[in-house]
Amino acid sequence: MLVCSFAKLLCEIARIYCGSAQGNLLPNASLETVMETIDLSPTPASGASGVAETAAFGSNLDLVSHHLCPYVQRAVIALTEKGVPHRRIDVDLADKPDWFRAISPLGKVPLLRVKRGSGREAILFESAVICEFLEDTQPEPLHPEDPLARAQHRAWIEFASATLNDVGGFYNAPDAAALEAKRVRLVERFAWLERHVSDGPYFSGARFSLVDAAFGPLFRYFDTFERIGAFGFFADLPRVRAYREALSARASVRDAVAEDYPDRLMAFLKKRGSYLSDQIFTA
Ligand SMILES: N[C@@H](CCC(=O)N[C@@H](CS)C(=O)NCC(=O)O)C(=O)O
């Protein structure tokens, strides 16, 4: 069990935000209110800390975040769609605070801090786990009821994660040939999506789902890529184009990042020292 000795350190280092269920980001004054007692041990499978405590979940959730992270956005979108109040705490991943290293087993965001009814706290890591936990404990289901459809949705969320890795490969490509190879790879990925996405507006029809929460942040990168050059990612993919448009119009997707996100992402891309970075300087 890690005790609140991290709180003071947090106060000095972390940038804290309070996020409403609508995803607004507001500066927050005190870290002591965030970190009291953190328990990394698993919740017992039965007993008082089980189902009864989940009733309290919702008003005591802190999402440890990064302002650009697409995996964080998945959790934010799920929280927003479910109308769950939460606080958002941004960390600098280029200079990870000690308190963050101490509670993040993989050194990654997002983390969800869950305050249990007993006053003890648990830390969840991995966006998929966080979203599934919200699915298990909060209203407004974002997974289909049918087990097969649910499994397929989970698979497409994995697909979105693999595509995010290709996005990273694209913006980190060292030269023109590597960039083109990654561009082609991404077009191939989206061609798969073209064959599986519904008639719209969302991945499986009228109902917004966790798959949509995964693809919304992925598509957001392309708004910035298109400011840099004409890469033709979606030229022959009308269904994906329509899907992308529907997701960008969804309030929970739109508001999962701050208003200046496009400029922040552009600044991040400029600093990569990649072939794409050079295109920004010469644009
Ligand atoms: N599989 C993880 C991926 C999360 C992830 O890669 N987060 C990135 C930021 S988007 C991170 O924290 N990276 C650590 C680092 O940059 O050191 C999840 O789904 O939560």
Residue ending a domain, among 94, 115, 137, is: 137
Helices (H), the chain: 6-13, 51-54, 70-82, 98-103, 127-137, 147-172, 176-196, 210-228, 238-249, 251-254, 261-270, 275-282
Structural domain of 35: 6-137
Residue ending a domain, among 72, 102, 137, is: 137
pLDDT, one tens digit per residue, over 67-120 is 999 999 999 999 999 999 999 999 999 999 999 999 999 999 999 999 887 778
- Integer Cα distance of 276 and 6 in angstroms: 39
Give the binding-site residues of ligand 1, using a 6 Å CB cut-off: 66, 69, 71, 93, 107-110, 126-128
Residue pair 7/83 in contact by the 8 Å Cβ criterion:
no
User: Is-catalytic flag, 69?
Assistant: yes
CATH no. for residue 37?
3.40.30.10
Residue pair 265/224 in contact by the 8 Å Cβ criterion:
yes
pLDDT at 50: 31
Domain match, 196 and 249 both: yes
Element at 171 (helix H, strand E): helix 147-172
Query: What is the Å distance from ligand 1's center to 247 Cα?
Result: 22
- Which residues have C-beta within 8 Å of that of residue 133, sequence separation ≥ 6? 112, 114, 124
pLDDT, one tens digit per residue, over 110-151 is 999 998 877 789 999 999 999 999 999 999 999 999 999 999
Residue ending a domain, among 89, 114, 137, is: 137
> What average pLDDT does range 167-178 have in this prediction?
98
The active-site residue, picked from 4, 11, 18, 69, is 69
